[in-house]
Chain A
Amino acid sequence: GENVEQHPSTLSVQEGDSAVIKCTYSDSASNYFPWYKQELGKRPQLIIDIRSNVGEKKDQRIAVTLNKTAKHFSLHITETQPEDSAVYFCAATRRKLTFGKGITLSVRP
């Protein structure tokens, strides 16, 4: 089945800096890659997604890039703010959604 690895497991950045979170997946047939944000004690919520026919997608301060050949995709957050502090999950799907283990992003004011 699909295996999704997420790196690093924790990330701390200064407010205003950029943050990059990387994920790799194992199933070359996976074709949909969402990113979910989960604030402490809250539900996961979709922040951006990308499909396999697209290499990059941007939405204001966040962007996702996909490299199908290397089977990895990354989340980029620019101009980070304290409210970006949360756990971020990448996921990949062909038949079912498989989540990475999550990364805790801390933005220092």
Chain B
Amino acid sequence: DTAVSQTPKYLVTQMGNDKSIKCEQNLGHDTMYWYKQDSKKFLKIMFSYNNKELIINETVPNRFSPKSPDKAHLNLHINSLELGDSAVYFCASSYGQGTHYEQYFGPGTRLTVT
């Protein structure tokens, strides 16, 4: 009965490849997020979706494309991977429309680009 799940947990790939990370939440939340945590542990929001609608899109390269097929799922597709994309990517979800509620994080996907 995992609340927020992500697949895969680890992803090792070469520069230039395209990869996807999937996220699912079974909490009935309306809002889902993607965060990037770099090697210095800095946690930064990338995207936020509310009921399948994109509401936050930070200054992320357009090689990153999120997709929300329904409010329980939020996937992240990355084209033409670069070394600097290596990081841990966390999916999260929260109740309601804003960020004024607890965010439940998934276990993270460690992406390594070689």
A interface list, Cβ under 8 A from B: 31-32, 34, 38, 42-46, 49, 51, 87, 89, 93, 95-99, 101-102
Contacts and interface: CB of A to CB of B under 8 A. Distances in A.
A32 B100 contact: yes
Given A43-B90, A43-B105, A44-B105, A102 B100 contact: no
B100 A44 contact: no
Interface residues of B, number: 19
B45 to A, nearest CB: 6
B102 interface: yes
Interface string B27-46: 00000000000001111110
B106 interface: yes
A46 B44 contact: no
Interface of B: 40-45, 48, 56, 58, 90, 98-100, 102-103, 105-108
6 contacts: A38-B41, A42-B107, A44-B90, A93-B98, A96-B48, A97-B45
B56 A96 contact: yes
B112 to A, nearest CB: 15
B100 A46 contact: no
B99 A102 contact: no
A34 B102 CA distance: 8
